[in-house]
Chain A
Amino acid sequence: MKAFAITTAVLCLAGAAPRAQAQDESARRAAVEVAARVPFEKAVKGAPYSAETSIQGSQTLADGNRISHRSTGRVYRDSEGRTRREEDREDGSVGVSIVDPVAGFSYSLDPNSRTAWRTTLAATGAILGKIQEEARTAEAARQRREGSNDDPSARARAVEQEKRVVEQEKRAGGPVTVAGRGGAVTRAYAITPDTPLEHKTIEGVAVEGRKTTTVIPAGQIGNEQPLTIVSEEWRSPELNILVLTRHSDPRMGDSSYRVQNIIRTEPDPSLFVVPADYTVKDTGIRRMLEARQPGR
């Protein structure tokens, strides 16, 4: 468990800490996961599937050194929306999490202690709701900058204006001032509105794609040159899952998430049941910590 946990921890922090990379590298490696994880999953009914997953990332450091990582796993979802995810660990074992929206619980299985750590979905749902609310707020702010989506002509004007501003900022090497309803305003980040990508088929399923480009002008965060961040996502409307995402940020490196070898049949029901030889412990994350302390 620990080898996987540390690997995951470094991966997490690599993604979370875009700034001051060189000096933080040792700190990232020093971060250690100290408790079992609590899984969460968006519940989707009526679209069962099984697939393999892979996460890849790479980052080139200032000295030319390159850090790459890759992890693999599997995902299963039944018609009721129960989901099982498996992650291949470096030590050869497999981490398993089960999210059961029918019963209202998620489980993180610890094969070493044969323990299934159980958490109510209400607990994780509240946290997820908070994160999604923050994301919606950011999206709403972005749309306000772009113009109203309800008015195609206004949106088109906003798109054109955005393109012009991005070009101006590239030429100027910094933020430019544009006219707004409340007077002239200085732009912070230049975000190119979502660009729909041509529909295509990936792994045998039809997907819809979109691409978002964000430019952080020079000087905004102490950067000498503008920073361009590109995010691309391909979603299957039928399965309601992301099949492929790519993210490129000069501060974080490149990363991708891919779902492959998709099989659209009902998975084995036993995959969504805690094994009989496991003891289920219904605890919060704090009690997981306490249970792992010596002498308890």
Chain B
Amino acid sequence: MHKPLPSSGRGVRPEASPGDFVIVPGAAALPPLESGSLVRMDVPVSLLPSLGLTPPSTTAAKVKADLIVGQDGLTRAVRLVN
């Protein structure tokens, strides 16, 4: 069995809200999503248009994004973090 949870970890509100994700271009033609992962990454701003996102007004070269990656390693959806 695993160790008991730290008390500070209880009741944490999920940070990943479902409302912000957008389907990446071409994902509708991909095989069904039956398993996968949510992955947080530093993504170059220049890549955002190809993901279907409008680049934010920032001077940063990279932004944090959450990607939904399917069982086949292909990305289905993305959202910007802050």
Contact = CB atoms under 8 A, between A and B. Distances in A.
A120 B3 CA distance: 17
Contacts, number: 212
A145 interface: no
A148 B27 CA distance: 24
Interface string A16-34: 1111100110011011111
Nearest to A57: B73
Contact of A127 (B9, B26, B38, B49): B38
B39 A12 contact: yes
A101 B14 CA distance: 17
B16 A123 contact: yes
B2 A116 contact: yes
A251 B26 contact: yes
Interface string A123-139: 11011111110110010
A139 to B, nearest CB: 8
Contacts of A97: 37
B66 to A, nearest CB: 7
B75 to A, nearest CB: 3
16 contacts: A8-B69, A16-B24, A18-B25, A20-B50, A30-B44, A33-B41, A34-B42, A34-B64, A35-B40, A129-B18, A132-B33, A251-B26, A280-B4, A285-B40, A287-B15, A288-B40
